[in-house]
Structure 1
Amino acid sequence: MKHQTDTPVRIDKWLWAARFFKTRSLATKAIELGRVLQNEQRVKPAHMVKLNDVLEIHHGEQVSTVIVKGLSEVRGPAPVAQQLYEETAASQQKRQQRAENRRLFVEPSVHISSRPTKKQRRALDHLNFD
């Protein structure tokens, strides 16, 4: 891989290079807010990532647990970035389960076409008070 290194890399640079965040500043902000854990510990943005470190990344509703397989300070194409880490089997299973739950979830308001009319509201009020 191009630009891969054997020396430890800052965690904010690695997260950006591995394409978990669009910008380094977003990665830094997530680390500062405690949304990225390295080996189950909160770290600072300048903390170094080494091979085989376990990172837990909370990005919105998505939670990924990955093992660092490569180090890079340079952001490259997505296929190259995906070679920098390996997602754990448990993390993949949880992500697929959440996707399935989202697919099966029906928004309660989908059956309501509009606000009730005055006549419908009176009928509802009548039902509530009898």
Structure 2
Amino acid sequence: MVQEDERHGVRIDKWLWAARFYKTRSLASAAVEAGRVLVNGARAKPARIVRRDDRIDITGQAQQQWVVIVRGLAEKRGSATLARLLYDETTESIAARLLREEARRWQPEPEEDRHGRPTKRERRDLDRYRHRD
């Protein structure tokens, strides 16, 4: 699975998909287009070639963030254990990610357990709150 062709590299959208940061290649491509993926500190296009030792900043769903260094190249998606060999996460990224997870654990979002539309009582409370002049 790991292809070490230093001269050519791999497209960033293929690499993100192969490294299992995104479930599909089209999601990876959309994230790159939206500017949620930076290669060596600069925005990239999905066709951007990634090489070993490139630094990639990734902002995923729910504001998850990773800063990784490319250690291997792959154009095809393989197992998760092989995908983990494609990159090394920086120590700062690991520490920040664990800190965010801990904060999220102790301070859950207020609307996290809410589903669907508000009930009649909740709607009245919201109206009273919005229109208190």
TM-score (norm 2): 0.78
The sequence identity of aligned pairs, in percent, is 51
CA deviation profile, 1:61-90 (whole Å, cap 9, x unmatched): 101000000000010000000000000000
1:92 aligns with 2:94: yes
Cα deviation for residue 106 of structure 1 reads 4.8
1:14 aligns with 2:15: yes
Show the counterpart of 1:5. Answer: 4
Which ranges of 4 or more aligned residues in structure 1 deviate by more than 4 Å? 106-110
Show the counterpart of 1:102. Answer: 104
RMSD: 2.2
Is the 8 Å Cα contact of residues 37 and 43 (structure 2) preserved in structure 1? Answer: yes
Residues paired across the two proteins, number: 114
TM-score (norm 1): 0.80
- Give the letter aligned to residue 31 of structure 2: A
User: What is the distance in 2 between the residues matched to 1:34 and 1:16?
Assistant: 16
Q: Which runs of 5+ in 1 are unaligned?
A: 122-130
Q: Which runs of 5+ in 2 are unaligned?
A: 113-118, 126-133
Distance 1:14 1:59, change over 3 A: same
CA deviation profile, 1:18-59 (whole Å, cap 9, x unmatched): 000000000000000000000000010001000000000000
- Point out the structure with the larger strand share: 1
Highest Rg: 1 or 2? 1
- Give the letter aligned to residue 23 of structure 2: K
